[in-house]
Structure 1
């Protein structure tokens, strides 16, 4: 079974942090939330307190198939300032294992050099953190190799379903989308 870890810091955006956890768990993926606050408790950008599955200090990330970063402020800034998170991302990238970041969080990847020479998206305005070699696309979500980035809150569901497809395939994801009425939403958009 695939192992995914999502780093959460005080000030993370609720939908960007919790919807991927929900969708991946519904899809049978072992995803754990990892608090970087020094406590299991993390306060979201809108004042909701959640209890993470584990603290960063207790996490063994050696079996990670994917690392995720939700956006939000000051959550993304707090993730960017956490040296352990930055080192884990660099190690994950060096091994070519999957990494995802959405909204403001791609700035963390950019700061680690992970987006150098890649295409990426983020919340408009945060592309200023990208290096000159990164191509900002402005897409809802952008894949480039083992990296996926998302634009913001509205991108969360398609971003999370795409991530799930890496592990269970697109056909099974389509079933889940239908069961969660997402397929209905997509049909109306066409």
Structure 2
């Protein structure tokens, strides 16, 4: 399986002429020293704060943990629970002050405003990162964080870096600003936005463990082959998705839910101004997702089930999908949804483990996680990344989650809105 991410190299590390080096993407061949690194778990710190962009934080954590890295999620706030953007609540493993004297192989900063301001203003984090960089260790940042945090701390001097398009002018005052989706220079890796974060995460895996491990992690993600292209989806039996006022959407989560899928769906739908209710299928609102990211739901499913929804959307994750399938309350909600011809969908393991066994794919075309497509009774569309069949939408895995969520946005609000969000996330080229 080819490694599906691209990494821009500084001139000294590439074979490109100076002008082409800024414009052309290529696959990065890891240095010999990185390739021969021992397979022991690398220690990684991902700090988060109120106002952090949840997709950037969760995708980075999830991808790195898939590689076997020992990732500590640390809150720069007084409490462990962080109120990230778009109403997503993440519970950290520790506080920054708890790990101030620890040594890490990598520190990776997510973006999001005002999250980056809160990270920049955390004195304990600034001291930790500056010592980490002075010791010659790997560091990274995405979105606004390269400009607002690393640049403000003077950690990008003389280096090429990238960031969110709206912060490029600020970045240019502290670094050589380039428009790469992922940029490596020396020991720093930078990236642009939520739409480039999965590529960023895989690039960090390669820096920590080498290209073979990065390939191993990238394969099951089902990433795009052509990053930056406009999103597409396959539609069969098209119907107009309609709703009154703002569409009300239920996103259930459970222990073992795939956190990237859940957070991308929630975040993107809330960007579109949909009314998203996140409900825990467990007996408490806090769940531990498949890569041990702790998320806090808005309410328990029993409470959420008292309401009606225009759309019910199931994230994947093996354990989470099994919990959904075993929830009589959720299955009954889904059955009522289909009986009333309202909209529903699922991604990754959930089409195969929840919808199929409960008869919710009868007469429908669907797709699912590649290893589970054999569980679908109709496999005619399983190679498609996103499939819409009337009032049903399904998709394949973490690497198709943005396309999946954007397709939902398009069905509800139109393609113009979907493309605006895709461009703001730098998922689609601006």
Q: Counterpart of 1:76?
A: 116
In the alignment, the residues of structure 2 paired with residue 72 and residue 161 of structure 1 have an alpha-carbon distance, to the nearest angstrom, of 20
| Contact 2:100–2:124 (Cα < 8 Å) also in 1 | no
Partner residue in 2 for 1:172 = 213
CA deviation after TM superposition for structure 1 residue 186, in Å: 1.4
How many residues were matched structurally?
Answer: 188
- Contact 2:139-2:189 at 8 Å conserved across structures: yes
Q: Give the corresponding residue for 1:154.
A: 195
CA distance in 2 between counterparts of 1:93 and 1:172 reads 24
Alignment of 1:89 onto 2:118:
no
Q: Secondary structure at the match of 1:46?
A: helix
What's 2:160 paired with?
119
Task: Give 2:385's aligned residue.
Answer: none
TM-score (structure 1 length as normaliser) = 0.93
Residue 179 of structure 2 is matched in structure 1 by: 138
Aligned to 1:33: 73
Name structure 2 gaps, 5 residues minimum: 1-40, 230-430
| Preserved CA contact (<8 Å) 1:3 1:29 | yes
User: Hey, what does 1:186 align to over in structure 2?
Assistant: 225
Pick which of 129-138 and 107-116 moved more.
129-138
Distance 2:49 2:64 in 1: 20
Q: Does 1:19 align with 2:75?
A: no
What's the TM-score once normalised by structure 2's chain length? 0.42
Q: Which runs of 5+ in 1 are unaligned?
A: none
Q: Is the 8 A contact 2:205 2:213 kept in 1?
A: no
SS in 2 for 1:138: coil
**Is it true that 1:3 corresponds to 2:30 in the alignment?**
no
Report the Cα distance in structure 2 between the residues aligned to 1:124 and 1:83, rounded to whole angstroms: 27
Q: 1:122 to 1:179 in 2, by over 3 A?
A: same
Larger radius of gyration: 2
RMSD between aligned residues: 1.7
Corresponding residue for residue 163 of structure 1: 204
Partner of 2:364: none
Structure 2: distance between partners of 1:75 and 1:61:
23
- Aligned-partner Cα distance in 1 for 2:228–2:174: 34
Contact 1:6–1:68 under 8 Å retained in 2: yes
Does the Cα contact within 8 Å between 2:103 and 2:132 map onto a contact in 1? no
Corresponding residue number in structure 1 for 2:140: 100
Residues of 1 paired with 2:66 and 2:190: CA distance? 21
How far the C-alpha of 1:133 sits from its partner, in A, is 5.7
Q: 2:107 aligns with which of 67, 70, 84?
A: 67
Instruction: Choose 55-64 or 74-83, whichever is displaced more.
Output: 55-64
- 3-state SS of paired residue (1:109): helix
Q: CA offsets, 1:135-188, max 9 Å, x none?
A: 100110111100011111111011000001122211222122111212xx2168
Residue of 85, 89, 92 corresponding to 1:52: 92
